[in-house]
Amino acid sequence: MSEIDLTNDEKARYARHLILPQVGEAGQKKIKSASVLVVGAGGLGSPVLMYLAAAGIGKIGIIDDDKVELTNLQRQIIHSTSSIGELKTESAKRRIYQINPEIIVEIFDTRLTIENAEEIINRYDVIVDGTDNFATRYTISDCCEILGKPWVFGSIHRFEGQVSVFNLNGSPNYRDLFPKAPPPELAPNCAEAGVLGVLPGIIGSFQANEVLKIILEIDGILDSELLLIDTQTMNIRKLRYNANKEREKVTELSEEAISCALGLDEEQSLDVSDTKENMKEISPLEYVDKVKNGWNPFFLDVRREEEEKIVTLPDTNLRISHTEVPSRLEEIPNDQDIVIYCRSGARSAMVANFLKMSGNYPMEIYNLSGGIHLWASTVDSSIPRY
């Protein structure tokens, strides 16, 4: 990071940094010279982006392929009501320039994948994880290990959050702490499990703090330490961890390595793919039309109890959380067609696959494509989307 001068306006803007012994003018020049990539412009990305912009990071990159939805606004504070329907990257960029027009913002309207990760990540000094899925997180981890880039991890769940720094000057990496991702039922995302709106603001602020400490090269960085925060009990603790000396270092990005971390070997991945190809899907409009013409399938809701209280589709016969289906098969009839739904169609697809592969259901099994989201868009716009 090469040093550059500060203008008089910048000295005024960052005055409270300049009087900090740990920052000063030399430190602010480091901040101005630095570049940071934030993966995800959602709950965690929002405070990270806003605070790093305010701090004067010279170049900020944002990668996200999603659009702003009403349900985001409870926690994704970089976006506003007027941003609904807009790409999150564009919405975030506009807000950042309102905070600090003197910095550079680069946006990538795509997902981070093994195909584009090295090219994008290599352009930045520090990487911030603002994602909500393990596949992207392992991609960040592997790519940063290959390129020698430090990255700041953050995760949230209901009232709890975690923060750590990986791959800083040879410090342990994510795979040392988490060799395998937990199964989906033990690590649901915010849409499935819920999250207190202020939590990503707290965790994201801690992440931004770690980024600045890395750039300023000051003591106390959370490398080799996992910060655990419970905002309900206000219990805060740190867990130390070490590198796994027996772990083989990552030298190239591959689908196989990501699948292995997610608990899928090559054979299992093929099995899932084959099942999805054979699995039947039905759109909400097709379902409604067939029911009007006399079709009488068993309509199964596989969401959680808390979600059922928000909205339930008409003529639902039974609600069973997708994690409970294997232990409650006797409640699901095998003498009529079955249509399965959830919020977006992902969990219901898993259940449809499971029932089909069990061999106990000779009738047709359908996944309601798009779930409640698509139902609200195409059948009944009055029902809440969450």
Measure the CA–CA gap between 234 and 190, rounded to whole angstroms.
Answer: 20
With beta carbons less than 8 A apart as the criterion, state whether 138 and 174 touch. yes
Of 143, 144, 260, 342, the catalytic one is: 342
Of 143, 144, 190, 260, the catalytic one is: 190
Examine the residue annotation and report whether 190 is marked as an active-site residue of this protein. Answer: yes
Examine the residue annotation and report whether 144 is marked as an active-site residue of this protein. Answer: no
Render the burial of 45-63: b for 16+ CB within 10 Å, e for the rest: bbbbbbbbbebbbbbbbbb
Q: How far is CA 271 from CA 43, 44, 274, 356, 361, in A?
A: 34, 34, 5, 12, 19
With beta carbons less than 8 A apart as the criterion, state whether 113 and 93 touch. no
Kindly give the interhelix angle for 199-216 and 24-33, rounded to the nearest 10 degrees: 110
Measure the CA–CA gap between 302 and 339, rounded to whole angstroms.
Answer: 11
With beta carbons less than 8 A apart as the criterion, state whether 351 and 324 touch. no
- What is the sign, positive or negative, of the torsion defined by CA atoms of 205, 207, 211, 213? positive
3-state secondary structure of 293: coil
Pairing of strands 160-166, 225-230: antiparallel
Active site residues: 190, 342
